[in-house]
């Protein structure tokens, strides 16, 4: 299976999981139910680093083998997966905080935070060695550039500023959910 197909499949899984977590999220007036929801969601979330690590290793191997003619779209799509995972983590953090504020303990919270840190570290590992076919001069010039996060990269590709890009994405999400 091609790296692009694997990335697309995992993206669908992450998106479907995000939708399922959103749909099953209890009302904010129920801290006990939110604590139970958070515990279940944490169990569901704990596999993210292993999935992402296998994907990153596959992408690197595919790229080293020369089977990725244009690596930029693949890099962007994998970066989106990291963003999806971390966005889900932020939503889950909010639920955990609400449950705690209501006086309820959430089991595996520390394990969840370690998992999030692992995803963040893996994202950093993925972004550092992503090699593009370039001349020696282009590679040297690229080493002096600052890192662009996915929003910055997509905004650049779309020819807009980052704030405009984020507004467009928020509008798209509202339209998609509405």
Compute the average pLDDT of residues 55-72.
83
How many structural domains comprise the chain?
1
What's the pTM value of the predicted model, to 2 decimals? 0.68
Confidence class for position 135, pLDDT limits 50, 70, 90:
low
* Owning domain of residue 76: 3-131
| Euclidean distance between the first and the last CA atom of the chain, given in angstroms as a whole number | 34
Looking at mean pLDDT, say which of 1-10, 21-30, 140-149 comes out highest. 1-10
Please list, in sequence order, all residues whose beta carbon lies within 8 angstroms of the beta carbon of residue 52, skipping any fewer than 6 positions away: 81, 82, 85, 119, 122
What integer pLDDT is reported at residue 81 of this predicted model?
Answer: 92
Counting every residue written for the chain, the total comes to 178
Whether 141 is covered by a domain: the verdict is: no
Q: How far is CA 11 from CA 2, 15, 96, 107, 119, in A?
A: 14, 6, 25, 27, 15
Average pLDDT, the chain: 82
The pLDDT of residue 132 is 47
Q: What's residue 50's pLDDT?
A: 92
Instruction: Report if residue 157 sits inside a domain.
Output: no
Q: Is residue 165 part of a domain?
A: no
What is the structure's pLDDT at 142? 47
Per-residue pLDDT averaged across 134-146, rounded? 52
Q: Is residue 90 part of a domain?
A: yes
Instruction: Note the pLDDT of residue 175.
Output: 81
> Are the C-beta atoms of 158 and 165 separated by less than 8 Å?
yes
CA distance 111 to 3: 30
Task: Specify the pLDDT at position 109.
Answer: 93
Q: Judge whether 35 lies within some domain.
A: yes
Indicate if the pLDDT at residue 59 is higher than 80: yes
């Amino acid at each position: 299976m091609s790296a692009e197909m694997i990335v697309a499949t995992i993206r669908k899984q992450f998106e479907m999981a995000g939708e399922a977590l959103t749909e099953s999220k209890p009302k904010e007036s129920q801290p006990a139910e939110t604590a139970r929801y958070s515990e279940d969601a944490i169990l569901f979330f704990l596999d993210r680093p292993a999935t992402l690590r296998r994907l990153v290793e596959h992408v690197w191997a595919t790229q080293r083998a020369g089977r990725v003619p244009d690596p930029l779209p693949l890099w962007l799509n994998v970066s989106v997966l990291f963003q999806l995972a971390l966005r889900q983590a932020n939503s889950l953090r909010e639920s955990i905080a609400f449950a705690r504020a209501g006086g309820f303990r959430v089991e595996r919270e520390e394990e969840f935070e370690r998992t999030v840190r692992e995803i963040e570290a893996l994202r950093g590992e993925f972004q550092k060695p992503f090699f593009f076919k370039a001349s020696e001069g282009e590679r040297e010039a690229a080493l002096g550039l600052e890192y662009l996060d996915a929003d910055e990269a997509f905004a650049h590709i779309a020819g807009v500023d980052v704030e405009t890009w984020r507004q467009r994405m928020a509008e798209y999400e509202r339209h998609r959910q509405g």
